[in-house]
């Protein structure tokens, strides 16, 4: 190469490099992320933002006097099982009780924020789209910065809406702001944890697993500290710090400052690693797999098991822990409504039994069923992930037919939630039976009550399968939106006084409450038939459409 040519190449390189720094293109990538998540982000922000205000309105209606709230605090809110699940209550005001009831929001928002960041960093890199964008004038730090910017903005908007909704229910502004900020910073911290996990691993699955493990450890540390009354142990957890603001009692702001500092430190580490590692590589070396595949991978069912086993095991272990906590808190929940006829009638209506403790368990199992439906939808949408990653096409190019491949995934999408609910019922019945001295009688009753929700869960799985076969491009967003709508109708339908026909749109509205009475077969068979019809329609649509679509 001549000196003149070399000079021209050098000048061109300097010109291109001078067009921007490491953050060049961040704004455009953020707009792309917002466009891709234009359905999911607003749904989860709005649904979660409405929950704390609904809890406050419910407590104000059910416990209107200070004496009633003090009794609830002494019998239920301070129960070790309740504190382990939700966190401690720092007072008997409506706001303090509502803040405790909404304690799981820190975990939920952290989970969603973590997954969003992994989706727009490591998943994009694994799919090869990051490399295509990197070939343009795009700063090296722009993809990570854009993912964090959008997630941080969503968390901040969520915190503002939470605080505004609580203020709208006539709660003090200081406590509302403190709780809203705690939700925001919990989401921001675990979003940054997701960013760090994306730098450490080479695959999106490993990044999600590492991030979820960090979230699980944080929850277990907080749970152990709150259940045992060990304050310093709870403070070691980011989730414990987020709940140490003491909203509506004596607001403390230093835990939020500590959480913000930890977020900055983890973010700085993630940014440094992103700048130093190679594209497509992770800081942690990837373990080599066996040279030959095992016999379990000989067919589509074995492949589906390989893809879904980690999630199924994690959900099952979590269900067992949740069931044990719910069963341990049931007796305290029954004692909390002594003398409160309004609460007793409501719980009996929800649970379908004259036992308030069992009615409480019936109501909480309904919420657990929504979580199990989340796993079912995740397993069903795994087919779409395999298709978009171009891993389904090579499998279907062999002797594996489309129906066999789809049915292999459908087995786990349908049976997985059933396993989760059975384990939840067993653990709940065992814990409740130990507290009442009647294990043999409580375990089958609670297990049956949990199984009664399986057909409703299958309906949502059928919706996901139908969307995958008929409208694959919008299947992910619409399937999760359907679950969010069921959550909204179940948790806020009565508070918002929605029409019955609107509540009937949720399959969980038609699930019979079998505790304390006979098991009606008609609604269970009808829901199962609807789920089968939806799944069959999805299979037929998948056989007819192009791949990939």
Look up residue 91 and give its two tokens.
Answer: 């007072």
Which residue range is the domain that position 27 belongs to? 21-283
d(CA 44, CA 39): 9
d(C-alpha 368, C-alpha 348), whole Å: 18
**Of the candidates 256, 283, 310, which is a domain's last residue?**
283
Residue 343 lies in a domain: no
pTM attached to this predicted model: 0.76
Sign (positive/negative) of CA torsion 472, 387, 317, 107? Answer: negative
In angstroms, the CA 541 to CA 129 distance is 28
Identify whether residues 251 and 320 lie together within a single domain: no
Does residue 356 belong to any structural domain of this protein?
yes
Check whether residue 510 and residue 419 sit in a common domain.
yes
* Residues 370, 456 within the same domain: yes
Same domain flag for 209 and 129: yes
Give a yes or no: residue 3 inside a domain: no
User: Do 515 and 372 share a domain, yes or no?
Assistant: yes
Do both 231 and 328 map to the same domain? Answer: no
Q: Is residue 373 part of a domain?
A: yes
Angle between helices 402-436 and 454-470 (to 10 degrees): 160
Q: Does some domain include residue 72?
A: yes
Same-domain check for residues 42 and 157: yes
Residues 91 and 201 placed together within one structural domain of the fold: yes
Q: Judge if 356 and 440 occupy the same domain.
A: yes
Report yes or no on 393 lying in a domain: yes
Continuous H helices in 389-520: 392-396, 402-436, 439-451, 454-470, 475-492, 500-503
Angle at 154 between CA 364 and CA 60, to 5 degrees: 40
The domain tally of the chain equals 2
> Is the residue at 288 inside a domain?
no
pLDDT by residue, tens only, the chain of 549 residues: 445 544 443 443 443 344 567 888 888 889 989 998 888 889 889 889 988 998 898 888 888 888 888 888 877 777 776 777 778 888 889 999 999 888 889 998 999 999 999 989 988 887 777 777 766 777 788 889 999 999 999 999 999 999 999 999 999 999 999 999 999 999 999 999 999 999 998 888 788 888 888 988 898 888 878 876 778 888 889 999 999 999 998 889 999 999 999 999 999 999 999 888 877 777 777 777 677 767 767 788 888 888 888 888 888 888 888 787 777 767 665 555 555 555 555 555 554 554 566 767 777 788 888 889 988 998 999 899 888 878 888 888 888 899 999 999 999 999 999 999 999 989 888 888 887 787 888 888 888 888 999 999 999 999 999 999 999 988 888 898 898 888 877 766 655 566 777 778 889 888 887 665 667 788 899 999 999 999 999 999 999 888 876
Residues 78 and 222 in one domain: yes
Query: Using N-to-C axis directions, what is the helix angle for 402-436 and 300-336, rounded to 10°?
Result: 30
371 and 303 share a domain? yes
Give whole-number Cα distances, 214 to 95, 237, 304, 371, 448, in Å. Answer: 30, 10, 26, 20, 33
Tokens of 134: 């990197």
Both 96 and 194 in one domain: the answer is: yes
Nearest CA to 255 among 225, 234, 269, 270? Answer: 234
User: Quick check: is 290 in a domain?
Assistant: no
């Amino acid at each position: 190469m001549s000196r003149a040519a070399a000079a021209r190449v050098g000048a061109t390189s300097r010109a291109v490099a001078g067009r921007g720094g490491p953050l060049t293109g961040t704004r455009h990538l953020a707009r792309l992320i917002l466009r891709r998540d234009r359905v999911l982000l607003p749904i989860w922000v709005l649904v979660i933002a409405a929950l704390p205000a609904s809890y406050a309105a419910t407590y104000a209606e059910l416990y209107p006097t200070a004496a009633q709230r003090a009794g609830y605090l002494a019998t239920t809110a301070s129960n070790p099982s309740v504190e382990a699940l939700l966190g401690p209550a720092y007072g008997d005001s409506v706001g303090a009780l509502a803040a405790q009831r909404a304690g799981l929001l820190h975990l939920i928002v952290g989970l969603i924020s973590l997954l969003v960041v992994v989706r727009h960093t490591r998943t994009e890199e694994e799919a090869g789209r990051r490399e295509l964008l990197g070939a343009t004038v795009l700063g090296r730090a722009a993809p990570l910065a854009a993912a964090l910017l959008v997630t941080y903005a969503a968390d901040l908007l969520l915190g503002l809406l939470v605080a505004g909704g609580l203020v709208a229910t006539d709660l003090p502004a200081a406590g509302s702001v403190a709780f809203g900020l705690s939700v925001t910073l919990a989401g921001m911290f675990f979003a940054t944890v997701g960013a760090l996990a994306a730098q450490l691993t080479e695959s999106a699955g490993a990044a999600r697993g590492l991030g979820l493990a960090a979230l699980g450890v944080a929850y277990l540390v907080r749970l152990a500290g709150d259940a045992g009354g060990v304050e310093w142990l709870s403070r070691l957890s980011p989730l414990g710090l987020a709940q140490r603001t003491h909203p509506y009692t004596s607001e403390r702001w230093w835990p939020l400052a500590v959480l913000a500092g930890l977020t900055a430190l983890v973010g700085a580490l993630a940014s440094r690693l992103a700048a130093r590692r190679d594209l497509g590589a992770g800081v942690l070396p990837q373990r080599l797999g066996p040279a030959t595949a095992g016999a379990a991978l000989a067919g589509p069912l074995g492949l589906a098991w390989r893809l879904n086993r980690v999630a199924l095991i994690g959900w099952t272990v979590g269900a067992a822990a949740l069931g044990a906590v719910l069963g341990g808190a049931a007796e305290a929940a029954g004692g909390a409504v002594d003398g409160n006829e309004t609460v007793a009638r409501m719980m009996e209506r929800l649970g379908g039994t004259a036992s308030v403790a069992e009615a409480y368990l019936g109501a909480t199992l309904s919420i657990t069923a929504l979580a199990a439906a989340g796993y079912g939808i995740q397993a069903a949408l795994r087919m779409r992930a395999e298709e978009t990653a171009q891993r389904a096409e090579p499998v279907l190019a062999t002797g594996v037919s489309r129906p066999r491949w789809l049915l292999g995934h459908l087995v786990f999408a349908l049976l997985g939630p059933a396993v989760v609910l059975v384990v939840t019922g067993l653990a709940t019945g065992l814990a409740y039976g130990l507290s009442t001295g009647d294990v043999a009688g409580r375990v089958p009753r609670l297990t049956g009550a949990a199984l009664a929700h399986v057909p409703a869960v299958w309906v949502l799985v059928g919706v996901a399968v139908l969307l995958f076969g008929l409208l694959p491009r919008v299947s992910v967003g619409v399937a999760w939106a359907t679950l969010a709508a069921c959550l909204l109708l179940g948790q806020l339908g009565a508070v918002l006084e929605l029409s019955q026909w609107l509540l009937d749109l949720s399959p969980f509205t038609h699930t019979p409450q079998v505790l304390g009475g006979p098991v009606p077969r008609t609604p269970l068979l009808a829901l199962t038939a609807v789920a089968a019809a939806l799944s069959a329609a999805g299979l037929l649509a998948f056989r007819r459409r192009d791949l990939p679509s």
